[in-house]
Structure formats: structure tokens, C-alpha cells
Amino acid sequence: MNRALGVCYYPEHWPEEWWETDAARMREAGLTWVRIGEFAWSRMEPEPGRFDWDWLDRAIATLRGAGLKVVLGTPTATPPRWMLERHPDMLAVDAEGRPRGFGSRRHYDFSHAGYRAECARIVEALARRYGREVQAWQTDNEYACHDTVLSYSPAALAAFREWLARRYQSPQALNRAWGNVFWSMEYASFDEIGLPNLTVTEANPAHRMAFRRFASEQVASFNRLQAEIIRRHSDAPVAHNFMGRITDFDHWAVGADLEIAAWDSYPLGFLSDRLEFPPEHRRRFVRQGDPDFQAFHHDLYRAVGRGRWWIMEQQPGPVNWAPWNPDPLPGMARLWAWEAFAHGAEAVCFFRWRQAPFAQEQMHAGLLRPDSEPAPALAEAAQVAREIADMPETGTGRSPVALVFDYESAWAWSIQPQGRDFDYFRLVFAWYRSLRRLGLSIDIIPPDTADLSAWRVVLAPGVATLPPAFLSALGRHEGHALVGPRANSKTAEFAIPVPLPPNLPGLEATVARVESLPPDIPVPLEAGGQVLHWREKVEGSAEVVERFDDGWPAILRHGRLRYLAGWPDDEALDRILGTLADEAGLAVERMPEGLRQRDGTTHRFWFNYNAVPVEWRGITIPPAGVHWAPLDP
């Protein structure tokens, strides 16, 4: 596996005389990849049908001439202003019915056939011209960014009706599947069906779920259209840059059409903007980022890319978009890059080369300041470049623990949380963090995984509908498994299954009742810790492993398969997962706060996310420190 560093560069932002020096300085810092082009449509095609490739030819030639490899982005996240003259109805529409206007980016509707044709046209032109010139591709930029997956436009409505007609064949079948007899919601034709916004009170959850599935498939087919065109003209791998904690479309489905899954990692922005942590945690990690958030996405996207994954954008200094934008602790740019490599990343590209003094992101740091002087992360990048050159290849370790991640469950529980705090990502991430506190390396797997034999422990919290392939794999699984809460509690059409859940192989248990609870009303567990937000009353003859303090069963089992009837707090999770890992014979090592470890194939890595040194097994790891040692053969 090759490991490399790179950077995102916008030649169109700078005088052409600077390109050569920029490229030489990139090489000098040890960078080998440069991503360009993803927002440059107005320069590639200044007027409809009039392409200007000269500048891009010269930019690519200059970068390649300096020895850099080029990732070329398709510019479809930023259609130029003239596009709106041609397709005035191409804008997405928000849930309140307002079109989302021109003047920033991502102003398009995934369902608009005319815009899709324009995208196919520019991608075809780019792929023809540069198919043999560039070493990798990126489709569009960050699907879903700025809340752009769901659109309530006329284009979306028409496409949704077609999608429904294909899926259900007749309005009667749709009425039955959704339960539209309720509140007289029955339809006599597909043309009567609207989008699930602007209803008086909540729309039918089955209607909303269908709309989420439809919207997700629109993203996947939009991406596939581009990937297929590129492949006709190029052998270079196709990537897309996904994001952190974004569940608006099924990333497994988009990943199936890519060679490489990439993601954009902004640890300090995420801590400030995207995670619900107590104030002490935020204070402790304000300049380092959460110790588990990056790793979670590394493991997720390694699986989405079926082993091949990158960081396409790595935070280099303060960003501009979070509520607060602190300066990273010295050493963190290096730590973040090394952590990605420890999880098997092929490349880590910093965003961006030079801070732009103009427009929306003028307050966003780069590797260079706006005056072209080095910003602090440049030296850290150069250090990592030297280190990866010296460090033997370590491969991507396989972990003994698998954790299921399912996008449909994120939609299901956002449509019907049943208690304000039931957020699917938060649930799965809490389990992931606990496993990391126990010193374990983790694989993330899709919900339809049909062979579980590679893992000694399989975990599936909160999966709304367990696919048949997974259920039969679970029935055959010889290792341990823990499933629940809310597992298998919806049919694929968003109804309560009868017989009642969880319907797991061999487990004689029925969820007879569920309750959600305000966060300050926990329910203690007899064995220690408590559950929050959610618990279930389970009946049946399955063996009860532990109980709530009022006697309701909390964990039940059949052989090595366990069902968990609530949302454990961190103390309970560490105990429950720790016991499971011990029983499975895994080496549990309770990590000091902020210190994390990860196994590659040949080495174990440690990352100190603290602003203070940590002692670990006789070694002092400095603040923002990275340490590695060979694994016992």
C-alpha cells in the first residue's frame, strides 16, 4: 500500500506566474498529490458550449511537470450563473417551498433531468480531454453538504412519482404498504401523491421513508452517471469526498460506484459544530478534536471504499465555518495525518494550499498564508512526508470487532425518534467510543453483510430493519453478538412487525413495550451504570443475563447472541462491551483519557489527543504525540 500526502489547489485563484513556484514548493514539502478543478466550471466553460481548456492544460502540465500527481474534480457542485438562464427550475427547493438561490454553491437539484444532462456534458468533455493526463478523479464535491439531498421541487416531485410507480406498481399496493387507510390518506393514482412537506401535522412515516430512499437513490445515480462517463475515457480511480456525520444518503450505495472512498476531516470544526459533548470535554479537546470522531470515519470509509480510502481534505489550521474556530495545538496536523495512515489511508490531502484573501473562505487557513509565507501546518506536513518515507509499510489491520452502520436506520429514527434524543449516529458512535476506550481496533460493516465469520464480536445497535442476509449470517455466527436496542423493530415499509421484534435467530424474546425518557431520568442497571433515553420491556423464555433495578430484563441471550433492551450510558457500555470482549478472548486494555491505540498489520500506533503528556506502559507520549511499535508476530 502506498502512503502519500497531497494538497487541494485552485490554480484559477492565482496568477499563472505563481503556479510553477507553488508546484515546486509542494514537492519540496514532500507532497505528491494535488487536487484541482472541482469548483472551476465558470472558467472551464465561460459561456454555454464555449470551453476554455488552455489554462487547465497549462495548470495540469505545470503540476505534473513538477512531479505531482493530479486528482481532477468534476465541477458539478458549482454550476455557473448562465446555467440558471438555461434551466431556471434547476434549483433545489427547501421544505418550506423556497428555492435555494445562486451565489454560493451546491445550488442544484439531483432530480433535474436538464441539469443532469449538463453534468454529463461537462464530465464527458473533461474525461475525454484529461482521461489519460490525470491520476485520479473526484466526482462533484461533498454530496449532501449544506443540506442539499432533500429537495421539494417540481423536478423532485415528478421523479418521486415515477420512483413510486416502479417500486409499488399500483396505488392500491402503495396504500396497503403505507397503511393509507389511516386518516383517509388513500390515493387513486400516483399523480395524486405529493412530497411529504407542508402537511398540517406529520406526514405518514412510510411516505417520509420512501422519500428518503428515493432521494438517496438520486444521489447514487447522479454519482454513477459521472463515474460511468469517466471510466469510458480513463483508467484512473474515481473517488468522492464524503463528510463527517452526514447520513442523508446511503454512502454504501455511492461507494459501490467508486474505486476510492475519501472524506474531508475537520476535527476542530466537528468538535465545535457536530458533536454533543459536555463542556469539560470540549474544553479539554478544543485544539485537538474529539479522540474518536476521526477514527470512526476512517473505519467507516475504509469499508465504504472496500479497503481503498483517502482523506481528501485535512484541516490545516483554523477553519471559518464552525461556531468557534481555534488554532490547532502544534503537532495535531501531523497526528491527524498519521492517524489516517494507521487506519489504512492511501493519501492525506490538506485543504488548502494557500489561504484565499477573498470570498467566503478568506478566514480559512491553508498550508500557506495569504502572503505566501508558510503557515504552521506546512512544516508538520513536511515532517509527515519524511516520516512516511522512512516508516515501513504497515497495511490496514483487520479488527476482531465489527460494528454495523446503517443509513436507513438514521432516516428511520430521525423520522420517528419517539423520544427527542434518539439519534442513530449518536447511538452507534457511543458504542464505537466505548470500544476505543477498551483499546480495541474496530471494523465498520454494512447492514447487509452476509458473512460474519471474520469477526469474533459483532455489534448492531439500533438497526431498524435487519436484512435477511444479516439475520441468517447471525444465525450461523460462531462468535459473540450484541444487538439492540430497537433492533429489527420496523418492517421495510415502516410498520411494526408481527410477530413483534426483535425476531432474532433462536432468541425467544418479544419486545412487549418501549418507553423513551428525558435525559435526566435514567434507569439504573443492577450490575452498574444505567440506561438513558430509551428502554424496552422484553418478555419470553430467553435467558436473562442482567436486569434493570426494577426487575425488567436488560440483556437476554441465546448462546452467544445477546439482545440489549436499552441505551446504556458510558459506564454501562464499557462494562457490557468489556465483558463481551473478555468472553470472546480479546485483549482489552483500558486507555487513559485522550490516548487511543490502533493496530495496523505490522505495527500498533498510539495517538495522544491530550494537551498534556501521557504515560503509557513505561513510555511518555508528548501532547499531540504519535508513537508506534511493531506488533508481536
Residue from 126, 220, 319, 458 touching ligand GAL (CB under 6 A): that is 319
Task: Please state the closest distance from residue 289 (CB atom) to ligand GAL, in A.
Answer: 14
Q: Is 515 a catalytic residue?
A: no
Task: Please state the closest distance from residue 84 (CB atom) to ligand GAL, in A.
Answer: 21
- The residues with which 627 forms a beta bridge, in sequence order, are 606
Near ligand GAL in 241-280, by CB under 6 A: 264, 266
Task: Please state the closest distance from residue 235 (CB atom) to ligand GAL, in A.
Answer: 26
**Residue 364 contacts ligand GAL per CB under 6 A:** yes
Q: Which of the ranges 51-59, 137-145, 246-254, 574-582 carries the binding residues for ligand GAL, by CB under 6 A? A: 137-145
Near ligand GAL in 547-576, by CB under 6 A: none
| Residue closer to ligand GAL (CB basis): 10 or 51 | 10
- Alpha-carbon distance of 109 to 89, in angstroms, equals 9
Count of residues making up the chain = 633
| Residue closer to ligand GAL (CB basis): 361 or 493 | 361
Cα–Cα separations (whole angstroms), residue 497 to 459, 472, 494, 508, 542? 22, 18, 9, 16, 20
| Residue closer to ligand GAL (CB basis): 126 or 349 | 349
Task: Please state the closest distance from residue 607 (CB atom) to ligand GAL, in A.
Answer: 22
Cβ-based neighbour number of residue 344 at 10 Å: 23
- Alpha-carbon distance of 433 to 577, in angstroms, equals 11
- Three cell numbers written together for 358: 477573498
Under DSSP, is residue 455 helix (H, G, I), strand (E, B) or coil? coil
Number of residues binding to ligand GAL, judged by CB under 6 A: 11
Provide the CA 584 distance to its chain's centre, in angstroms.
29
- The residues with which 597 forms a beta bridge, in sequence order, are 606
Residue from 76, 141, 218, 288 touching ligand GAL (CB under 6 A): that is 141
- Alpha-carbon distance of 289 to 328, in angstroms, equals 9
- Alpha-carbon distance of 462 to 422, in angstroms, equals 10
| Residue 283 exposed, middle or buried by CB count within 10 Å (0-12, 13-18, 19+) | exposed
- Alpha-carbon distance of 633 to 628, in angstroms, equals 15
Residue from 130, 143, 270, 351 touching ligand GAL (CB under 6 A): that is 351
**Amino acid letter for position 8:** C
Handedness of CA 144, 145, 151, 153 (dihedral sign): negative
Q: Which of the ranges 67-75, 138-146, 229-237, 488-496 carries the binding residues for ligand GAL, by CB under 6 A? A: 138-146
| Residue closer to ligand GAL (CB basis): 59 or 209 | 59
Cα–Cα separations (whole angstroms), residue 129 to 54, 56, 239, 391? 11, 10, 19, 37
User: Taking a C-beta distance cutoff of 8 angstroms, is the pair 411, 209 a contact?
Assistant: yes
Q: Which candidate in 313, 380, 408, 536 is catalytic?
A: 313
Task: Please state the closest distance from residue 355 (CB atom) to ligand GAL, in A.
Answer: 11
| Residue closer to ligand GAL (CB basis): 364 or 533 | 364
Task: Please state the closest distance from residue 321 (CB atom) to ligand GAL, in A.
Answer: 6
- Alpha-carbon distance of 217 to 195, in angstroms, equals 16
Residue from 109, 118, 292, 313 touching ligand GAL (CB under 6 A): that is 313
Q: Which candidate in 45, 118, 142, 536 is catalytic?
A: 142
| Residue closer to ligand GAL (CB basis): 348 or 572 | 348
In 3D space, the residue among 3, 9, 1, 4 whose CA is nearest the CA of residue 367 turns out to be: 9
**Residue 143 contacts ligand GAL per CB under 6 A:** no
| Residue closer to ligand GAL (CB basis): 73 or 623 | 73
Q: Which of the ranges 141-149, 329-337, 459-467, 514-522 carries the binding residues for ligand GAL, by CB under 6 A? A: 141-149
Owner of C-alpha cell 444465525: 475
Task: Please state the closest distance from residue 142 (CB atom) to ligand GAL, in A.
Answer: 5
Q: Is 276 a catalytic residue?
A: no
| Residue closer to ligand GAL (CB basis): 236 or 243 | 243
> What residues line the site for ligand GAL (CB under 6 A)?
141-142, 145, 264, 266, 313, 319, 321, 351, 361, 364
List residues with catalytic annotation: 142, 313
